[in-house]
Amino acid sequence: MDRFFSITTRIALFADTCDRPAFEPGFSFRVAYQVAAREAVLMDYEAFTNESLTMMYEGIRGALRADDALRRDARDPPFRIRETPEWKKHAANLEVEMLRRGMLFEVIDWS
C-alpha cells in the first residue's frame, strides 16, 4: 500500500476486504486500523521457494549463534534472538511450511 495514503483511505481500503463496512456503527476505527496493521506484517510462507525458506531458517540459526558467541564474550547480542519471541514464531512458521513441503532440515536447538 502506498505510504502516502491517509489513515481514512487505508481504513476504507481495509473495509473493502472485510465483511462489514469500516464506518458502520459500533465498528471501532482504532480496532480496524490495528487489524489492518497486523495483517500487513503476516508473511505468506507458501509464496517462498524452498531455497528462500532454507535461507531464512539458516539466517535465524546464524543470528542465534552470533548472539550466543557475543554473550560468551560478555558483549551485547545484536539480534536478541532469545529475547524476542517473534524470532521463535518466525522459525516455527518456517518449520511448518518446510515440513508441509516435505523438506529435510535440522531443527534449531533453542536450549
Residue 98 contacts by C-beta under 8 Å, 6 or more apart in sequence?
Answer: 50, 53, 54, 57, 105
Together in a domain, 36 and 49: no
Q: Are residues 58 and 33 in the same domain?
A: no
Which residue, chain included where needed, has cell 536447538?
109
Residue 83 domain boundaries: 45-100
CA distance 82 to 21: 41
Judgement on whether residues 15 and 32 belong to the same structural domain of the protein = yes
Count structural domains, the chain: 2
The verdict on residue 106 lying in a domain is: no
Give the pLDDT of residue 17: 47
Length of the chain: 111
Distance CA 1, CA 16 (A): 14
Q: For the segment 62-102, what is each residue's pLDDT rounded down to a tens digit?
A: 999 999 999 999 999 999 999 999 999 999 999 999 999 99
**Chain segment 11-47, per-residue pLDDT in tens:** 444 444 445 444 445 544 444 444 444 544 578 999 9
Q: What's the confidence (pLDDT) of residue 42?
A: 79
Measured CA to CA, the distance from residue 64 to residue 35 in angstroms comes to 30
For residue 27, being part of any structural domain is answered with yes
Q: Which three cell numbers stand for residue 103?
A: 523438506
pLDDT reported for residue 43:
87
Q: What is the reported pLDDT for 38?
A: 52
| 36 within domain boundaries | yes
